[in-house]
Amino acid sequence: MQHIRARRTVLGALAALAFVPLVACGQDASPAASPASADPSPPASATTVPSADAKALKAEFKDLEGKFDARLGVYAVDTGTGREVAYNEGERFAFASTFKALAAAAVLQKHSPSEMEQVIEYSPDDLIAHSPVTEKHVETGMSLSALSEAAVRYSDNAAANLLFDALGGPKALDAELEKIGDDVTRMERREPELSRWAPGSTRDTSTPEALAKDLRAYVLGDVLGKGDRAQLTKWLRTNTTGDDLIRAGMPEGWVVGDKTGSGSGYGARNDIAVVWPDDGAPIVLAIMSNRSEEDDDHDDKLIAEAASVVADTFS
């Protein structure tokens, strides 16, 4: 879809000054290559310096909250320069199905290539709402690799639960995230319960900053081996559920690998992604949102327009 550019003139003039670089980061992977090993995040002591442009960006995100009657959280980092775009980046949101990318990454990390091809048997009782791939293979079962692909590319819920089983449950995935430095995300329940969130609850929540750093570690860092990084990247780039979200806010020619998520209430809608611009280092971003009433629905345009702000800032 065409890149959304409902932007203010002042931001176009200020984009080059968006934020002071954090630190000199290692060059991450380009679209034509397998992801390279890289420090998954800058040092904790690195900070951004407030600027007029930072205030203008904050105002634009706040305007989007008003336009869509939603709460918005954004964290993005240009991995080449260390520049950040951040808005409510430390606030908790329901992560919903975005966790499936992290679960697949953890499964890849813990299992050898031959183990990834072992067939997992399951029954009709394991099928739950939105299991479009697993429902077709009840009689034959599916390999761990195929289940991971189904969870990431098609957001298959039964596949995600079977990945939990392969890891030892939600708490085991939580422990794997802690090993890569994420002590923020709280993995507690399985599908479909984990997508049932209400304001104030901390179960099955994370922050935009934490999820973006997790994704960066798995896709661009050295947590996974080269082959596993390439496989995860392929699944993310061929995701079938994200055309109207971050992808819709990116310029033509930019390559996006993403994992979407939506909750069963309060209009929760998220997308986490690694984006490879046509020139420059990858951008890692997480955009999360929700609304105030339980029966509120989400609007994908909120995510797309927030992504457009990020793209314009880093262009």
Structure tokens given for 202? 């901390």
DSSP-derived pairing of the beta strands 93-94 and 205-206 = antiparallel
Whole-number pLDDT of residue 16: 36
Whole-number pLDDT of residue 5: 44
Calculate the CA 98 to chain-centre distance.
6
Whole-number pLDDT of residue 37: 37
Whole-number pLDDT of residue 53: 84
CA distances from 89 to 162, 167, 185, 238 (A): 30, 28, 13, 27
Model pTM score:
0.87
Q: Residue 49, exposed/middle/buried by CB under 10 A (0-12, 13-18, 19+)?
A: exposed
Identity of the amino acid at 158: A
Smallest Cα–Cα separation from 234: which of 123, 46, 224, 200?
A: 224
Q: Which residues pair with 274 in a beta bridge?
A: 257, 284
Are the C-beta atoms of 237 and 256 separated by less than 8 Å? yes
Are the C-beta atoms of 266 and 198 separated by less than 8 Å? yes
Q: Mean pLDDT for each consecutive 10-residue tract of the chain (315 residues)?
A: 44 38 36 39 42 86 98 98 97 98 98 98 98 98 98 98 98 98 98 96 98 98 98 98 98 98 96 97 98 97 98 95
Give φ, ψ of 110 to 5 degrees: -90, -10
DSSP-derived pairing of the beta strands 269-276 and 283-290 = antiparallel
Smallest Cα–Cα separation from 97: which of 243, 222, 221, 242?
A: 242
Structure tokens given for 189? 């329940």
Please identify every residue annotated as catalytic: 97
